[in-house]
Amino acid sequence: MPTSAKTTLSATKMSMPGVDAKVLRCFTAYDVRGRLGEELNEAIAQRIGRAFAEVLGARRVVLGRDCRASSVALAGAVADGLMAAGVEVLDLGLSGTEEMYFATSHLGADGGITVTASHNPMDYNGMKMVRAGAAPLSGDTGLAAIRALAERGDFAARRAGGRLTPCPEARAAYVARVLSFIDLGALRPLKVVVNAGNGAAGPTFDALAAALVAKGAPLEFARLHHAPDGSFPNGIPNPLLAENQPVTARAVLAAGADMGVAWDGDFDRCFLFDHTGAYIPGEYIVGLLAEAFLAKEPGAKIVHDPRVIWNTQDVVARAGGQAIAARSGHAFLKQALRDTGAVYGGEMSAHHYFRDFMCCDSGMIPWLLVGELICRKGAPLADLLTERRAAFPSSGEINFRAPDPAATVARVDAAFAPEAPDRDTTDGLSLAFADWRFNLRASNTEPLLRLNVEARGDAGLVRDGAARIAALIHAPGGSS
């Protein structure tokens, strides 16, 4: 983004080509995400920037962007909208979403925006937004008002004082905060494969690695798909997809590494592999991180999502902590941390939240903590999880396309509820039996039903339960 941006917004109500003034379909429950062109373009981005500033009464706003080809122009348009409202735009340039979270708090800004579509297809882009202190900005805490004003376009008169201020120095402060989560003296020699997926992670990781070297940390890194490239020559960075995991697994084996790390496009999620190249499902990483924090802060509260819970609850109970379930989704997990004072919160989708990181999620803090735990335990990552995975096997998330999700869930509920002593509807449908349980919920972002099944010590129960539920979902009128 240039250090000065031409402001193209008028002082009063705007009429912009490419903007449907009646509805902006790029708004989701948590953020902005849309197909480039009709759903999201520079004109719409200007409106959103302007509306963001006016709804929040903002005077200073942090702005970052990922490496997608469209992100430079969209970020410039957001800056135009912000500056038309008299905002000083604190420009991070190419950066991760968590850097925006940190800088919003660290710089005392009134809000923050990252232009990113994370792991979405090439023809998408979007924005993640927070208010002051990096507090979540969801549908019921301002996002609906921003959408409504952006759609109406009846903005206040143009304000003077808008300007763009580059803030490259924010990264050094961010690196220092990330490293504060680990005891550098506990680290032992480790070799780590890092796969940035040609997303935004590379430059930030390099700054972090340089700081580790400067402090004498005995870590060795093998970089894979490291350079940011918005054309994504090695595919969209989404390591949660099984088809995207072998490339990191092979690199771990080829390098003889102790662990592997892969990030999504804006690196607010990281995905871990053990020394055998095996991918570690997210719910077991939640348990590991809970254990790590409870070793440092005995009796602490740990927040988890309600999809796969038994391993986490067992780890927390054994360590003398308190497990707290919260609804899935970043806005809900962040608010739960703020409300309860929990030290850590984790979702099986690889979002990990930290009290001392503005209660926000980070893709850099988790792998460092796991590396420290490996060093402290003196055992490979695979060995740390063998017992846990056997004690609490799980299915992994199984997705179904359902024309009528509510009716499909109701059919599953009617079939299983009579035999379930424990029923919970905090987030979708959760039914627990003596030795197995499941959660079935509609996706917040896609037209999908998501199923997770877990058991106590019996993988057969997981397979059987998943098969029974899938048969109900696939029944006539259920799903495709």
User: Among all residues, which ones are annotated catalytic?
Assistant: 118
CB 194 within 8 A of CB 205: yes
Both ends of the chain: CA-CA distance in Å?
Answer: 44
Residue 132 contacts residue 141 (beta carbons within 8 Å): no
Helix (H, G, I), strand (E, B) or coil at 344: strand
Neighbours of 185 (CB within 10 A): 10
Distance CA 41, CA 458 (A): 50
Radius of gyration over alpha carbons of the chain, in Å? 23
Three state DSSP letters for 211-274: HHHHCCCCEEEEEECCCCCCCCCCCCCCCCCHHHCHHHHHHHHHHCCCEEEEECCCCCCEEEEC
- Give residue 329's identity as a one-letter amino acid code: G
The Cα–Cα gap between 262 and 260 comes to: 7
- Taking CA atoms, 375 is separated from 190, 249, 256, 369, 371, in Å, by 8, 21, 17, 10, 6
Burial of 398 (0-12, 13-18, 19+ CB in 10 A): middle
**Phi, psi for 422 (deg, rounded to 5):** -130, 120
Closest CA to 32 of 1, 78, 76: 78
456 is written with which tokens?
């106590």
Cβ neighbours of residue 228 under 8 Å, at least 6 residues apart?
67, 94, 196, 198, 199, 200, 202, 203
**Beta strand segments in 46-94, E:** 60-65, 88-94
As to burial, measured by CB atoms within 10 angstroms (0-12 exposed, 13-18 middle, 19+ buried), residue 170 is: buried
